Amino acid sequence: MIEVYIDGASAGNPGPSGAGIFINNNGVVERHSIPLGYMENHEAEYHALIKALEICVASNYQVVSFRTDSQAINQAIEKKFAKKKYGVLLYEALKLSDQLELFFVKWIPSIENKSADELARRAIRLNKDEHEKDC
C-alpha cells in the first residue's frame, strides 16, 4: 500500500500558498513542493489533495492511503460533502479518487505530518520567488 501525506499551507489567509506531498511507495520516497498561487489555507488543503491524487493517477498507483492533518479534508471525504466553493474542489478530488482501486483518508495530528508540512512551506517560498521574478 502506498502512503501519501498531504498538507496545504498559506502565508496569510489568503496569501501565497503551497502544497506539500510526501509519498512512501514501499520504501521509495517522493517529495513534491507545489506552489499554488494566492488562496486561503483551506483551499490550499484541497489543492494539495487534488495534486496528490493527480500524481497517484499519473503514476498508476492503485491502492493508496492518504494522511492529512486537516480535519476539514478528512470529514469532507468521509461525508462526500463540503460547503460553498470547497464543494467544487471536493468533487474534483472524488472524481480522481474514483480512478484508484482503493483510496482512503486518515486524519493524523500535525506532529505526524511534518514532512508534508515542510514541503508545503517550501512551496510557499517557491511561490514567492516566482512572484518576485515576475515583478
Contact 34, 26 (CB under 8 A): no
User: Is 83 within a domain?
Assistant: yes
pLDDT in tens, 77-100: 999 999 888 999 999 999 999 999
User: Is 130 within a domain?
Assistant: no
CATH at 2: 3.30.420.10
Calpha distance 100→61 (Å, rounded): 7
User: Is 7 within a domain?
Assistant: yes
DSSP result, 89-124: HHHHHHHHHTTSSEEEEEE--GGGGHHHHHHHHHHH
User: Is 49 within a domain?
Assistant: yes
Q: How confident is residue 135, by pLDDT bands cut at 50, 70 and 90?
A: very low
User: Is 131 within a domain?
Assistant: no
For 55, the domain range is: 1-24+37-68+77-99
pTM, two decimals, is 0.93
Total structural domains in the chain? 1
Calpha distance 112→109 (Å, rounded): 6
User: Is 107 within a domain?
Assistant: no
User: Is 135 within a domain?
Assistant: no
Cβ-Cβ contacts under 8 Å for 47 (sequence gap 6 or more): 8, 17, 19, 36, 39, 89
pLDDT in tens, 99-123: 999 999 999 999 999 999 999 999 9
User: Is 132 within a domain?
Assistant: no
Contact 18, 9 (CB under 8 A): yes
